[in-house]
């Protein structure tokens, strides 16, 4: 039986949507609306049956974006009334310590999501705005919030605690939350399936390398550590984020360069990472420039991969036994160069990449380790929309069995 879910990812200036069948995984329509709230018109791309339908749209706010989405469905299909939507699943970035799993959205849940905005000022207000307008547009469907942080709420205290004054930390809810949870959850399940092992007995290190990037140590399907922290700034080097850095850099810049907090925030979140090191944010450009011998690009690529390698070492120690290292997201799935450079010199730890298998381009899950490698190396395409749809179905199913 098909179970179509409308999945919505509402950002500050963009809205991504997808109708996906939670049973078959088939995406019936995929859309992106950009430049919401901008000075000029926005851009909508609605893709159905492999055909793209671009349009210029007036989207001064999220309500207008939601209306533009409905127009696109009405014009290009599928007909939402006929599809038989079962639920609307919303991506929400920060669930704090409050949400350890996906929830049905009522007024109280929505208010809590809004209250968590102080921990995720760039994300939660936009997520909440999307939820509000979607609930108005689809009042008869159950709406479910799926949190980026929820998968990591299982992290033990030892992994999520920062060594700072306890009272300050408690008062301001400062701890490690972690992000990309839907991706880490999906990919670690798929890894166990691929290996033909029960999830409970499978230990993996998932490397989600996209524009944002994070590593996750997953023991038996449970996140026990992850590289992002209070915010997505901690951990790996990313497109524009520094990742791990001595916090004293902030004091130093304030005292010696006279930079205020917002300027340092912008520096570390938007002007650092491989962009800050090389002037290039896109990994394809960076790899090309490095291959052409540009020293800044070569160093940026090496710093990027070296940081990932350090986290692999850390999580081998955290997990003790590791079945597989799993690469996912735009860079992890596509960049043979990054995978090879990251895993260089790890044979002594039982991790051996098969050079030829690594070069094969494919959209399928695959094993790229040598047959002798003790730890498998997998490439598994992530699918956050499908995971959100599945979790939405789980919540709706639980509710009907609870309330009917
Ligand atoms: P997001 O975090 O926005 O979802 P993605 O997971 O789509 O990001 O990843 C985007 C990144 O993937 C970009 O840095 C892009 O350069 C990189 N990428 C996509 N295709 C390739 C490729 N063939 N080789 C190297 N990097 C790639």
Q: Which CATH number fits the domain that encloses residue 143? A: 3.30.420.40
- Quick one: 116 and 256 in the same domain? no
Residues with CB under 6 A from ligand 1: 210-212, 239, 282-284, 287, 329-331, 334-335
Q: Which atom of ligand 1 is nearest to the CA of 285?
A: 16
Question: Would you say the pTM of this structure is higher than 0.85?
Answer: yes
Provide the 3-class DSSP secondary structure of residue 107: helix
> Could you give the strand order of the β-sheet that contains 324-328, starting from the edge strand earlier in sequence?
222-226, 213-219, 203-209, 324-328, 376-379, 366-367
**Can you give the residue range of the structural domain that contains 236?**
197-384
The reply to whether 159 falls in a domain is no
Residue nearest ligand 1's atom 12 by CA = 330
The residue ranges of DSSP E strands in 93-226, in sequence order, are 103-104, 143-147, 203-209, 213-219, 222-226
Of 147, 162, 183, which residue is a domain's last?
147
CA 292–ligand 1 middle distance (angstroms): 20
- Quick one: 142 and 204 in the same domain? no
Q: What is the pLDDT of residue 399?
A: 60
The reply to whether 181 falls in a domain is no
Q: What is d(CA 32, CA 14) in angstroms, rounded to the nearest whole number?
A: 7
Q: What is the pLDDT of residue 402?
A: 41
Q: Which atom of ligand 1 is nearest to the CA of 361?
A: 23
Q: Which atom of ligand 1 is nearest to the CA of 208?
A: 6
Residue nearest ligand 1's atom 27 by CA = 331
Among 21, 148, 225, 323, the active-site one is: 148
Q: What is the pLDDT of residue 401?
A: 45
CA 316–ligand 1 middle distance (angstroms): 26
Look up residue 241 and give its two tokens.
């984020």
Q: What is the pLDDT of residue 122?
A: 85
Per the structure, the count of domains in the chain is: 2
Q: What is d(CA 21, CA 25) in angstroms, rounded to the nearest whole number?
A: 5
- Quick one: 142 and 44 in the same domain? yes
Among 11, 123, 208, 211, residue to substitute to test ligand 1 (most atoms within 8 Å of Cβ):
211
- Quick one: 94 and 230 in the same domain? no
- Quick one: 89 and 231 in the same domain? no
Residue nearest ligand 1's atom 7 by CA = 330
Burial class, 55, CB count within 10 angstroms (exposed 0-12 / middle 13-18 / buried 19+): middle
> What is the CA angle 198-200-201, rounded to 5?
70
The reply to whether 152 falls in a domain is no
The reply to whether 190 falls in a domain is no
Among 14, 278, 288, 331, residue to substitute to test ligand 1 (most atoms within 8 Å of Cβ):
331
- Quick one: 79 and 215 in the same domain? no
- Quick one: 127 and 247 in the same domain? no
Q: Which atom of ligand 1 is nearest to the CA of 287?
A: 25
CA 238–ligand 1 middle distance (angstroms): 11
CA 230–ligand 1 middle distance (angstroms): 24
CA 65–ligand 1 middle distance (angstroms): 25
CA 211–ligand 1 middle distance (angstroms): 6
The reply to whether 392 falls in a domain is no
Q: Which atom of ligand 1 is nearest to the CA of 239?
A: 14
Q: What is d(CA 204, CA 218) in angstroms, rounded to the nearest whole number?
A: 5
The reply to whether 65 falls in a domain is yes
- Quick one: 141 and 201 in the same domain? no
Residue nearest ligand 1's atom 21 by CA = 334
- Quick one: 223 and 371 in the same domain? yes
Residue 265 designated active-site = no
Q: Kindly give the confidence (pLDDT) of every residue in the chain, 404 residues in length, as a single tens digit, with 9 standing for 90 and above.
A: 899 999 999 999 999 999 999 999 999 999 999 999 999 999 999 999 999 999 999 999 999 999 999 999 999 999 998 999 999 999 999 999 999 999 999 999 999 999 999 999 989 999 999 999 999 999 999 999 999 999 999 999 999 999 999 999 999 999 999 999 999 999 999 999 999 999 999 999 999 999 999 999 999 999 999 999 999 999 999 999 999 999 999 999 999 999 999 999 999 999 999 999 999 999 999 999 999 999 999 999 999 999 999 999 999 999 999 999 999 999 999 999 999 999 999 999 999 999 999 999 999 999 999 999 999 999 999 999 999 999 999 999 876 544 33
The reply to whether 73 falls in a domain is yes
Provide the 3-class DSSP secondary structure of residue 168: helix
The reply to whether 226 falls in a domain is yes
């Amino acid at each position: 039986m098909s179970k179509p879910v409308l999945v919505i990812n509402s950002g500050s200036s963009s809205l991504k949507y997808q109708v996906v069948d939670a049973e078959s995984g088939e995406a019936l329509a995929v859309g992106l609306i950009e430049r919401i709230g901008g000075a000029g018109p926005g851009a909508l791309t609605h893709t159905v049956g492999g055909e793209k339908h671009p349009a210029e749209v007036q989207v001064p706010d999220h309500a207008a974006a939601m209306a533009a989405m409905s127009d696109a469905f009405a014009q290009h299909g599928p007909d939402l009334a006929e599809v038989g939507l079962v639920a609307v699943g919303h991506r929400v970035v920060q669930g704090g310590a409050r949400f350890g799993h996906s929830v049905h959205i009522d007024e109280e849940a929505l208010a809590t999501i809004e209250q968590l905005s102080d921990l995720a000022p760039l994300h939660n207000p936009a997520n909440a705005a999307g939820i509000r307008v979607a609930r108005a547009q689809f009042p008869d469907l159950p709406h479910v919030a799926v949190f980026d942080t929820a998968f990591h709420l299982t992290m033990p205290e030892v992994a999520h605690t920062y060594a700072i004054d306890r009272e300050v930390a408690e008062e301001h809810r400062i701890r490690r939350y972690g992000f990309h949870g839907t991706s880490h959850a999906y990919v670690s399940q798929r890894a166990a399936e691929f290996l033909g092992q029960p999830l409970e007995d499978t230990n993996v290190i998932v490397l989600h390398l996209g524009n944002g990037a994070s590593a996750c140590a997953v023991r038996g399907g449970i996140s026990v550590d992850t590289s992002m922290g209070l915010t997505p700034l901690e951990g790996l080097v990313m497109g524009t984020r520094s990742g791990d850095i001595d916090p004293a850099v902030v004091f130093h810049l304030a005292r010696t360069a006279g930079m205020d907090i917002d300027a340092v925030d912008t520096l570390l979140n938007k002007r650092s990472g491989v962009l800050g090191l090389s002037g290039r944010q896109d990994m394809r450009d960076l790899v090309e420039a490095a291959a052409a011998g540009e020293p800044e690009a070569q160093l940026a690529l090496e710093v990027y991969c070296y940081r990932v390698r350090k986290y692999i070492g850390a999580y081998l120690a955290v997990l003790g036994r590791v079945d597989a290292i799993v690469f996912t997201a735009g860079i992890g799935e596509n960049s043979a160069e990054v995978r090879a450079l990251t895993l260089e010199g790890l044979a002594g730890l039982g991790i051996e990449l098969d050079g030829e298998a690594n070069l094969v381009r494919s959209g399928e899950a695959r094993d790229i380790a040598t047959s002798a490698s003790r730890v498998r190396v997998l490439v598994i395409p992530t699918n956050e929309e499908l995971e959100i749809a599945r979790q939405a179905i789980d919540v709706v199913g639980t509710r009907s069995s609870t309330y009917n």
